[in-house]
A = this chain, B = another copy of it.
Amino acid sequence: MFDKFIMHEQGWLSGDTTESSIVFSSRVRIARNLKGHLFPEKSRVQGKCKVLDNVEKVFSDVPAFSGMSFLKMDEVPDIDKLFLVERHLISREHSGDCIGKGLILADNETVSIMINEEDHLRMQLISPGFQLKNSWTKLSGIDDELGEKLDFAFSQELGYITSCPTNVGTALRASCMLHLPGLVLTKRITKILEFLAKISFITRGLFGEGTHALGDFFQISNQVTLGVTESEVIDNLESIVRQIYAQEIQARNILMKRDNINVSDNAWRALGILRYSRLITTKEALGCLSMLSLGIDLGIIKDVDFPGCQDIRRLVNNLFVLIQPAHLQKIEDRTLKENERDFIRADLLRKALN
């Protein structure tokens, strides 16, 4: 499954400027539930299947869904589920206990709708680079069309009703995936993360809750959904991301002034390791790609031949995703042991960057 996905870059990965190498992607997500049905985690299999049926029935009548696929999760092979997790199209939770769970997915992977995850509907839209407003407008359009066919649980007083109270209200979570090697190298990141927590923003790593900041990636999202409008949620996050972006640029300038030679050494070594290693873990590869990406942005890595690659910026962004375990297993079309993955990952990176 998803074989056509594997070798093309994801729709939201097509950014190719320095801005999009710092603000990697923008994501908006809303939760919706159907009136008169128990929340998925309170519901038995039968109840979930009923909800799934209801969504499937209206699927082809929603214009926004044209060109998208409707999938039942229990029909998706395990390796493909992990693949969907790595591509940020479903949550890790959505890949287990699959009976009654579903997925609506756009071919270019910008839109995915989980059915019967924590809520009946979790609708997300990812865009490349820094496009929060635009993303929200698009997702809001899909929400409106679907709302005409399904009866969403809504309270005049509270707003949208959700399974977890932290989502009640707008039920909107917006996030940006930021690549912040400058703030990590200058060690300024700690204070920024503390500040974000204080003003109720959530920070996560590349792979969601509880994951470390692999490859210097940080996903920043709003915590508050109640007592604010959708526009406020988007505007607040946009303003915060703009500030962090400015801080990252400043950190990079400081690095170039005060620590030019060390940054240059890090960036070039990263390219050396990516081009020469025969075994490399996901963690080390992400770290090296992060330094390579920084080196390209700062003009350190230049006058280098990357034959067969027209746009090194896009290639690097794409490699961040491709080197992950399930992607490698999709490429090889079999289950791989850890050591095999490290070997195939090194091989893929070497060929891509030589």
- A278 near B273 (CB under 8 angstroms)? no
- B265 near A271 (CB under 8 angstroms)? no
0 or 1 for each of A268-308: is its CB under 8 Å from B? (1 = yes): 11011101111100000000000000000000000000000
Contacts of A343 in B (CB 8 A): 261
A346 in the interface, Cβ–Cβ < 8 Å? yes
A236 to chain B, nearest CB (A): 41
Q: Which of B262, B271, B276 contacts A268 (CB 8 A)?
A: B276
Q: Provide a sorted-by-A list of 11 A–B residue pairs whose CB atoms are within 8 angstroms.
A: A261-B343, A262-B279, A264-B278, A265-B277, A268-B277, A269-B277, A271-B276, A272-B272, A272-B276, A272-B277, A273-B273
Total copies of the chain:
2
Contacts of A262 in B (CB 8 A): 279
A227 to chain B, nearest CB (A): 52
A306 to chain B, nearest CB (A): 14
Contacts of A264 in B (CB 8 A): 278
Q: Which residue of B lies closest to A277 (CB)?
A: B269
Contacts of A277 in B (CB 8 A): 265, 268-269, 272
List residues 243-262 of chain A with CB under 8 A from any CB of chain B: 261-262
Q: Which residue of B lies closest to A270 (CB)?
A: B276
User: Which residues on A are within 8 Å of B, measured CB to CB?
Assistant: 261-262, 264-265, 268-269, 271-273, 275-279, 339, 343, 346
Q: Which residue of B lies closest to A272 (CB)?
A: B276
CA–CA, A275 and B279, complex, Å: 18
For the A-B complex with A261-B278, A261-B279, A268-B277 known, give 5 more contacts whose Cβ atoms are closer than 8 Å: A262-B279, A264-B278, A265-B277, A265-B346, A273-B276
A121 to chain B, nearest CB (A): 47
Contacts of A278 in B (CB 8 A): 261, 264-265, 268-269
A289 to chain B, nearest CB (A): 15
CA–CA, A279 and B272, complex, Å: 13
Q: Which residue of B lies closest to A262 (CB)?
A: B279
Q: Which residue of B lies closest to A268 (CB)?
A: B276
Q: Which of B268, B273, B339 contacts A269 (CB 8 A)?
A: B273
A343 to chain B, nearest CB (A): 6
CA–CA, A262 and B278, complex, Å: 8
A30 to chain B, nearest CB (A): 46
CA–CA, A278 and B343, complex, Å: 27
Contacts of A276 in B (CB 8 A): 268-269, 271-273, 275
Contacts of A269 in B (CB 8 A): 272-273, 276-278
Q: Which residue of B lies closest to A300 (CB)?
A: B278
A110 to chain B, nearest CB (A): 36
Q: Which residue of B lies closest to A276 (CB)?
A: B272
Q: Which residue of B lies closest to A260 (CB)?
A: B278
9 closest residue pairs by CB, A with B: A272-B276, A272-B272, A265-B278, A265-B279, A268-B276, A264-B278, A269-B277, A268-B278, A269-B276
